[in-house]
Amino acid sequence: MLPAEFRNNSASSYCRKSALKRWLSASCLLLVVTVTGCQLLNTSRNLGLPNQIIAERDYLVIHSDFRLPRKHRLFDELERLRDDLYRDLQLPTSDESVQLYLFAEPGDLRRYAGKVVPELRDRRAFFIKTDTRLQVFAHWGDKLAEDLRHETCHAFLHAVVADVPLWLDEGIAEYYEVEEHEQGLNRPHVFLLANAFRKGTWIPNLARLEMLTEPENVTQNDYAESWLWVHFLLQHDEMSRDLLRNSLVDGRFQGSSRSLSKELETKFPDAQLMLVEHLKQLSEGM
**What string of DSSP letters covers 29-47?**
-EEE----HHHHHHTHHHH
Q: Specify the residue, 65 or 177, whose C-beta has the smaller distance to Zn ion.
A: 177
CB of 11 to Zn ion, least distance (A): 33
Q: Where are the beta strands (DSSP E) in 57-165?
A: 60-64, 98-103, 125-129, 134-139
Q: How far apart are CA 147 and CA 141, in angstroms?
A: 10
Out of 78, 113, 125, 173, name the contact with Zn ion by CB under 5 A: 173
Q: Which of residues 15-44 bind Zn ion (CB under 5 A)?
A: 28
Q: Are 232 and 174 in contact (CB under 8 A)?
A: no
Q: Specify the residue, 204 or 215, whose C-beta has the smaller distance to Zn ion.
A: 215
Q: Specify the residue, 28 or 271, whose C-beta has the smaller distance to Zn ion.
A: 28
Q: Specify the residue, 170 or 225, whose C-beta has the smaller distance to Zn ion.
A: 170
Q: What is the SS3 assignment for 138? A: strand
From 74-82, 102-110, 171-179, 260-268, span contacting Zn ion (CB under 5 A): 171-179
Q: In 7-37, which positions are buried (b, 16+ CB within 10 angstroms) versus exposed (e)? A: eebbeebeeebeeeeeebbebbbbeeeeeee
Q: What is the SS3 assignment for 245? A: helix
* By CB under 5 A, residue 155 contacts Zn ion: no
Q: How far apart are CA 286 and CA 192, in angstroms?
A: 13
CB of 116 to Zn ion, least distance (A): 18
Look at the alpha carbons of 242, 245, 247, 252 in this order and tell me if their dihedral is positive or negative. negative
CB of 244 to Zn ion, least distance (A): 17
CB of 173 to Zn ion, least distance (A): 4
Q: Nearest-CB residue to Zn ion?
A: 28
* By CB under 5 A, residue 166 contacts Zn ion: no
CB of 216 to Zn ion, least distance (A): 13
Contacts with Zn ion, residue ranges (CB under 5 A): 28, 170, 173
